[in-house]
Structure 1
């Protein structure tokens, strides 16, 4: 091949190489531009987050009565302002709970008045209750005490004061699973049973059946928290042995389960409410968990014959 023939091929290769280089430069430029745009967006989001954080912190400063935007006030003036703001918040909480309690009160109240010391302690305890759900609970306590003076012990008030919103939710979940024997006032949370082996099945040992309460929104950590604040007793409890043919009547909210025991030696397992928990339980509004009721009947079916509802 001559020199004249190779010159066009060389020019073509030069053009191709130049085109590839241009595309690489363009691609690199696009990547750099994309990175710059992403960096700018991230910076904008970061600035927005920083602004939102400063605004939130400024709100906390204002609520605390600290310097904030009023840096011209002296330390003594800021302390006085903080006290005034605190007193106003507490008064607002107290008045809100009193207003709710009036709505819960029955039209007719007994002639007996509530204990003055109890009421004074109550007023002190509700001053810092600002959560709406907890305010309703405290209002129901006052309405209940007005309807039946002496119904709620001071110990119950102190327990409720220590209760967080999360623990109040746990109590509501527990209330939805609470059963009450018709012959007793104390509510219980049944979760299992055991039975002694019969003469013909003595090799099988003690038979046991359990429900996992976490399936019904009551987790074990929630149970522990209710034990810790004195709502539930600290240990699982077993009933006495049920007799063959013994009638049982459970009430779960408005639903009643009636049945008879199929064999002797059956022992029910449950969590029991403390006196404090028993006082608070009627204040909790909840719907019974039908899934739990069905599971409880299914678990007890080998030892209890339930009547059709």
Structure 2
């Protein structure tokens, strides 16, 4: 599809088509509107073609209710192909699977971009595009295809959002590790410079969830959490009338000083750069009990703490909803 054929398509989707064309060649408009039924039909067609070849290679196979059933040689003829023919069949099937994976990732990206109306003039770097599609063609798990689609959409709307190192880390992430990271995301706070969670022994490990000590170690090994256990996050000493902020999921927390306060420090676990970038991909329901726990950990005499829905950030200005103040016990 050429750009002249893109009348009626939004600018973000046009950019997606440009990126797809640069990444793996000519594309067609249906990639951007593929629904689940269409994707399933495509899957069945690919599998059917593979089954036809398997009857030549392996003596026969059927595909029923999502399962492959091998058939004996007495049930179907099995002419023996030459080694070059078998290699060609295998290569063709692998290329079909790669194409299916790429199309699924791009369809997810299109859904992410469907409600966007504007994009920056800057485009993703060619090196990034090539590296992305080299990885995406091997991603066959549906959940991970969703993440890769969000990454592609995020890089189109804000080039530089995801580094090449982050792509490599995500490439090696298992489905279980991804699920554990999403679970940990329920407790991650951030400001402009750091994303972190408070000492997990004090709250996270006490909750009925899937995150425990071994899962934390796995996420460290995966490159999503800093491997140091002695890091601290602190608010600098502040004067009366000043306010500090923390982002938590879709909320923003305010720490308002009515008196001068000294430096406030808490032991934390810190996400790596890759973990911080991947945090943008997940959306979690705020844990209101955790907000109260955070408030109590940072509370000092002469401080009021509130939360509000975070709408957007425009330069130095924050757009928020109505504030709700948190009642906490005065620190000893």
| TM-score clears 0.5 | yes
Q: Distance in 1 between matches of 2:120 and 2:195?
A: 27
Indicate if the aligned counterparts of 1:216 and 1:292 stay in contact, CA closer than 8 A: no
Distance 1:180 1:63 in 2: 53
Structural mapping, 1:145-294, within 5 Å: 145-181=155-191, 184-191=192-199, 210-213=202-205, 215=207, 217=209, 218-236=211-229, 237-240=231-234, 243=237, 248-259=244-255, 264=262, 266-294=264-292
Specify the alignment match of 1:41 in structure 2: none
Contact 2:266/2:297, CA 8 A, preserved across alignment: no
1:1-309 counterparts in 2 under 5 A? Answer: 67-69=58-60, 71-74=78-81, 76=83, 77-105=85-113, 106-181=116-191, 184-191=192-199, 210-213=202-205, 215=207, 217=209, 218-236=211-229, 237-240=231-234, 243=237, 248-259=244-255, 264=262, 266-298=264-296, 306-307=305-306, 308-309=325-326
RMSD: 3.2
Larger radius of gyration: 1
Contact 2:264 2:298 in 1 (8 A): no
CA distances 1:239-279 after superposition (whole Å, capped 9, x unpaired):
35864878543321222333368975753011111111111
Structure 1 residue 87: Cα displacement:
1.1
Q: Is the 1:180–1:252 Cα contact (8 Å) retained in structure 2?
A: yes
Cα distance per residue 1:23-48 (max 9 Å; x no partner): xxxxxxxxxxxxxxxxxxxxxxxxxx
| Structure 1 pair 109–214 and aligned structure 2 pair: CA distance change class (3 A) | same
**Cα contact 2:124–2:156 (8 A) shared by 1:** yes
Shift in CA distance, 240/180, structure 1 to aligned 2, threshold 3 Å: closer
Unaligned 5+ residue runs, structure 1?
1-58, 193-208
SS at the partner of 1:279? helix
Residue 293 of structure 1 and its aligned partner are, at CA, apart by 2.2
For residues 64 and 173 of structure 1, do their structure 2 counterparts lie closer, same or farther at Cα, with a shift above 3 Å needed?
A: farther
- Mapped to 1, the partners of 2:141 and 2:52 lie a distance apart of 16
* 1:13-71 alpha-carbon deviations (Å, 9 max, x no partner): xxxxxxxxxxxxxxxxxxxxxxxxxxxxxxxxxxxxxxxxxxxxxx9x96995625274
Once residues 110 and 265 of structure 1 are traced to their aligned partners in structure 2, the CA distance between those partners, rounded to angstroms, is 40
Q: Secondary structure at the match of 1:82?
A: helix
In structure 2, C-alpha distance between the alignment counterparts of 1:165 and 1:258, rounded to whole Å: 35
Specify every segment of 5 or more residues in structure 2 that has no aligned partner in the other structure, as ranges: 1-47, 61-76, 307-324, 327-332
Higher normalized helix content (fraction of residues)? 1
Report deviation, 1:232. 1.0
Paired residue total: 232
Q: Could you tell me how far apart the structure 2 residues matched to 1:173 and 1:63 are? A: 42
When residues 89 and 290 of structure 1 are mapped into structure 2, their CA distance, relative to the original with a 3 A threshold, is: same
Q: Which has the higher contact order (CA 8 A, sep 6+)?
A: 1
Determine which structure has the larger strand proportion and give its number: 2
